Chains A and B, each alone.
Chain A
Amino acid sequence: MTRLQRGYRQIYKSISRCALPSLENRKSARQFLFISALICFYGRPLLAQTTGNIDGIVVSENSGEPMPGANVMLIGTVLGAVTDLQGHFILNHIPAGSYQMRVSMMGYKTIEKNAIQVKAGETTSVSLKLVETVIETPELVVTANKTRQSIQDSPNSVGVMTSRDLQPRSEVYLDKLLEYASGVNFIGSQVNIRGSSGFNYGAGSRVLLLVDGVPVMPGDSGDIKWDLIPSTQVERVEIVKGAGSALYGSNALGGVVNIVTKEASAKPATNIRFSAGLYDRPRYPEWRWTDRLLHFDDLDVDHTRRLGRSELFLAAGRHQSTGYAQTGNFQRMNASAKIHTRLNGQQNITISSNYEGGDRGTGLMWRSQRYALEVDPAAISDYVTSNKFGLNAFHHWVANKNFGLKTRLSYFRNYWKNYFHDNITGSLANRYGLEIQGDYQFSEGNALTFGTEESWDHVNSDLVGQHDQYVLSGYLQNEKRLLPTLSLTTGLRYDYQDVDVGFSDSEWSPKVGLVWHAQSNLVFRASSGKGFRAASMSERFSDSIYSGLRIVPNVSLRSETAWSHEIGFNYNPLRWLYLDVAGFMSDYWDLIEPQPDKKQTIQFINVTRARISGAEVNLKASPWLKGLSFDLGYTFMEPRDLDLDEVLAYRPKHLFTGTAIYSFGRVDIAVDYRYASRLELVKVYPQDDRVAQKTVNSRIVFRINPWTITANANNVFNHNHTQMERTLLPIRHYVLTLSASL
């Protein structure tokens, strides 16, 4: 027995003797400590002088410029890194041996470098060159399987929007940007992936929102607060389509949206972005409600630098608008901080926080279609003051090349107060979360992801009262290469939910996925998984009057569940063509819907058995001319309410998004077109006119280092349409943005 092994044994004995008085507890805790000690034991070689390091740089083959943000992975291990602003990366404490390294980055061809020799006590230097591809296809994603993987290795459809897609569009809030991802539609602020969501009066969401992997759904309303993170702080957004509860639990019924924020960097850098915009006059004189100039402006600043042995990222922003409609005004502020510290070669910790708050006018619906940009005269002064605060700590420990442990501690606070003409109500929701995730790489083609997740929601609200809700979960997922070209993913998660009124519920969520690399440029995928959503507190406990309608509680609401199935392929037949096709079908049980009764009282109840089937095609092409590229996405859906044998309300059948970009010299010219077919059925005001959504946005981007000037004209043809009933979407507006990286 070595001295280190004796040390572990001594620690184990001391802890189990002192801290665990009961026999039973001691037994189980001993098992836990034994496993921990075992992990540490196997981690022991890292501490000895049997390891080496890899010090590398990634540059562009064309320009020789360093490539920041490239993903570096040692194949067959849990070791990896992202290059910093100088294209530099370090991998420490690698057991001596020969390794294969994979480097990928969006817009560049993935490369693999073989036979990298790591010698004990030495640092191996590597230099890698990335070659630009003709079309941009996303390479690595983290959300689909909770680990970094090639998008082509994901058995689910994953959409990715990077900062290069987001920034030129000059929108601050992500809901206005994500609707340009294929298969994504919005009803008000409720995101709908492949038809999963309808209109729920802002209560609950069938899509889970993560920020850097941490759920940020407020405990009271359970909906998504899109103003939480401004787009300027976003590195990329990953959209996993289909049920994802096998890894993420509640809310991942229709999909998962993960916002990956900008990383802190050692190289000092400051980004400034200022944009100002004007709303055009409405198309019709009846809709002109003011002679004032309607405008908005946004200012965002961020700075990153080294601080001791840490890297620091700070950001702040101010966003204000008069609105294009009455009571559409807002004034919001936000601030974020992130500090990343490498404790040693094996451990690093990231602490991040963000705050967003301010006032917002809140006319819920138009006065009438005759006066579509005005609200009920009594509600002109209605407004909401709200703020959100999140604090996260993330610890990553790479025990050895095969095992890593991630711990996430999170706190999210959501506060709002409505100052309405007929009532003043407020709510404070606190959510505390803990997740411990282990990644074990048995061999190159066999990886295990497992973990546990706990959350506690405490809500004190005028609408729902004071309540607590606890969720305890455990999950396990295995990715195994069955054949050199065929991989199987299996996973299972258990969630137990306890609500303070004595209600409890539990769900098992399995998943299975297959990926077959039929050819180097043709990959087939198939997946099947279960999703569920526990009722939000506002659906369960709401006892209030909303727009003159009484909402009454339903304490015993069950979770709604779904099974999603998908089959698809991606094909890259030519350098300038990338095609992704998917067919999908989702079955839903016990969908929670607001149900008005004969006395205009609304109660959320489990009502609907539904099925949504459809197909999705994504095409990226850069034909004919250097600098000209197209990105097209089309989704067809057949959403059926099987109980009532009718179409599901609030789901369009056809969604199309298209972007054409032409780049020459320092200039990009781009046009976006978005189409969502007319909603066949709505529930609240079916007698209202309904039309398809047709939006054309255009922009020109001009770069003079370090400045970028962007001019946008959005809703160029001033097409008037609604998503949520009686709320006209933004009319034509112009934005001028000046940004710089200093």
Chain B
Amino acid sequence: MNKATFHLFVLIFLFISLLISCGIDSGLEPTRSGFRGTVRFVNNWPDQTDQVMVVAATKFLPTAITEIVMGDPLPLLVDSIEYAIYTPPAKFAAVGVVWKEKNQPWDVTNIIGIYFPTEDHWTPGNVEIENRNSMVDSIDIIADLSKAKRKVASTLEGKLNVRGTWPIAAQSVLVAALTALPSPKSSLLDVSFGIPIAAGFDSTTYTVSIQPGNYLLVTALVIEENAPIGMQSIRGIYKKKPTDFFSPVIVPTDTSHVKNINIIVDFSSSPFPALSDGGW
């Protein structure tokens, strides 16, 4: 074997060794699965709009950024726009449109539209992407720009007092204020949610940042592991007097701090016994 042949042999050996060790795969590939649809905007665009985007949440309500997939920012000041979100196979508990105010961070609970596949606007539609080539169509959303929540100083404040024993699956408690009572004509978008409070307390205080307005119902929702949010989640209602079924709350201005909105979280009985079989 002459020298040149030997050099060639060494080079080929090195090259083959590397090919074998590499496994010759290509690594990441473009995502080809996901879902798409149309977002139709209703009402006027707020001046403070910075960005609007479609997000999908593996859990509703999402409590961490790790539970959501974000799309591209949508064009502003349009009536409707087609969108597509490419994401690996996953099952999403909800798909919605989130509004971001100028000079404020993203708040994934600032939802102005949710995908509802039926007339029931209290139950977000699930979207399941089954495989890497699956593109789910017609995930259409109506985004109501009047539901955009500006950054305000106004708050609801009060205490949560627990009666009975916490369910084993309880994870957190959400205070929710509703501008309309749950009915076929109202929607999940009529609800303002507070920040989840970890389960297990006997008594705690809460503060909910809230837009000015009239709230017909202020409730405490207990979020349980692997269970959807529904009427059964309501374990406490704000009552000004013990004899009230529920009591409305008025937040007059965007600097108002409405205090003493105290709620008893009662695990021994349901505030809506007749409706406790799920769904809003």
Binding site for B on A (CB under 8 A): 283-284, 286-287, 367-372, 376-378, 422-423, 545, 548-550, 596, 598-601, 625, 628, 658, 660, 662, 664, 669, 671, 673, 675, 683-689, 691-692, 694, 696, 717-722, 728
Are the CB atoms of A369 and B103 closer together than 8 Å?
no
- Cα distance A550–B104 in the bound complex, in angstroms: 8
Are the CB atoms of B88 and A719 closer together than 8 Å?
no
Are the CB atoms of A367 and B30 closer together than 8 Å?
no
Shortest distance in angstroms between A507's beta carbon and chain B's nearest beta carbon? 33
Shortest distance in angstroms between B82's beta carbon and chain A's nearest beta carbon? 15
Among B27, B30, B65, B103, contact of A370 (Cβ-Cβ < 8 Å)? B30
CB closest chain-A residue, reference B100? A548
Cβ contacts under 8 Å, A684 to chain B: 65-66
Are the CB atoms of A688 and B72 closer together than 8 Å?
no
Cβ contacts under 8 Å, A549 to chain B: 65, 105-106
Cβ contacts under 8 Å, B77 to chain A: none
Cβ contacts under 8 Å, B86 to chain A: 368-370
Are the CB atoms of B58 and A687 closer together than 8 Å?
yes
Are the CB atoms of A673 and B10 closer together than 8 Å?
no
Among B58, B73, B107, contact of A600 (Cβ-Cβ < 8 Å)? B107
- Cα distance A526–B157 in the bound complex, in angstroms: 59
Q: Which of B83-132 contact A (CB under 8 A)?
A: 85-88, 90, 100, 102-108
Q: Does B250 contact A (CB under 8 A)?
A: no
Are the CB atoms of B72 and A719 closer together than 8 Å?
no
Tell whether A687 pairs with B22 under 8 Å between CB atoms, given A377-B73, A598-B64, A598-B195: no
Shortest distance in angstroms between A646's beta carbon and chain B's nearest beta carbon? 14
Are the CB atoms of A423 and B28 closer together than 8 Å?
no
Shortest distance in angstroms between A713's beta carbon and chain B's nearest beta carbon? 12
Tell whether A368 pairs with B31 under 8 Å between CB atoms, given A378-B51, A671-B18, A689-B88: yes
Shortest distance in angstroms between B126's beta carbon and chain A's nearest beta carbon? 16
Listed from nearest, the 10 A-B pairs whose CB atoms lie closest are A370-B86, A720-B27, A550-B105, A548-B106, A286-B30, A720-B28, A369-B31, A719-B27, A721-B27, A598-B196
- Cα distance A366–B16 in the bound complex, in angstroms: 34
Cβ contacts under 8 Å, B88 to chain A: 369, 687-689
Cβ contacts under 8 Å, A688 to chain B: 88
Are the CB atoms of B28 and A368 closer together than 8 Å?
no
Tell whether A718 pairs with B65 under 8 Å between CB atoms, given A550-B105, A687-B87, A696-B18: no
- Cα distance A654–B266 in the bound complex, in angstroms: 52
- Cα distance A23–B23 in the bound complex, in angstroms: 76
Q: Which of B14-59 contact A (CB under 8 A)?
A: 14-15, 18, 21-32, 34, 50-51, 58
- Cα distance A550–B105 in the bound complex, in angstroms: 6
Binding site for A on B (CB under 8 A): 6-7, 10-11, 14-15, 18, 21-32, 34, 50-51, 58, 63-66, 69, 71-73, 85-88, 90, 100, 102-108, 172, 195-196
CB closest chain-B residue, reference A661? B14
Among A671, A694, A720, contact of B29 (Cβ-Cβ < 8 Å)? A720
Tell whether A696 pairs with B106 under 8 Å between CB atoms, given A368-B86, A422-B50, A728-B28: no
Shortest distance in angstroms between A641's beta carbon and chain B's nearest beta carbon? 16
Tell whether A548 pairs with B195 under 8 Å between CB atoms, given A372-B30, A719-B22, A728-B28: no
Shortest distance in angstroms between B228's beta carbon and chain A's nearest beta carbon? 19
Are the CB atoms of B10 and A369 closer together than 8 Å?
no
Cβ contacts under 8 Å, A717 to chain B: 22, 24, 26
CB closest chain-B residue, reference A283? B26
| A-B pairs with beta carbons under 8 Å apart, 26 shown | A287-B30, A367-B72, A368-B31, A368-B71, A368-B72, A369-B86, A371-B30, A372-B28, A377-B73, A545-B103, A598-B172, A598-B195, A599-B107, A599-B195, A600-B106, A662-B14, A684-B66, A687-B58, A691-B25, A691-B27, A694-B25, A694-B27, A696-B22, A717-B22, A719-B25, A720-B28
Given contacts A422-B103, A600-B106, A691-B25, 15 further A-B contacts (CB under 8 A): A368-B71, A369-B28, A378-B73, A422-B102, A549-B106, A600-B65, A601-B105, A673-B18, A673-B21, A689-B28, A689-B31, A696-B22, A719-B27, A721-B27, A721-B28
CB closest chain-B residue, reference A282? B30
Are the CB atoms of A625 and B25 closer together than 8 Å?
no
Tell whether A370 pairs with B10 under 8 Å between CB atoms, given A376-B73, A673-B18, A673-B22: no
The residue in A376, A545, A599, A692 that gathers the most chain B C-beta atoms within 10 A of its C-beta is A599
CB closest chain-A residue, reference B30? A286
CB closest chain-A residue, reference B69? A687
Shortest distance in angstroms between B151's beta carbon and chain A's nearest beta carbon? 11
Are the CB atoms of A377 and B72 closer together than 8 Å?
yes
Cβ contacts under 8 Å, A694 to chain B: 22-23, 25, 27
Cβ contacts under 8 Å, B63 to chain A: 598
Cβ contacts under 8 Å, A376 to chain B: 72-73
Are the CB atoms of B26 and A545 closer together than 8 Å?
no
- Cα distance A549–B86 in the bound complex, in angstroms: 22
Are the CB atoms of A369 and B105 closer together than 8 Å?
no
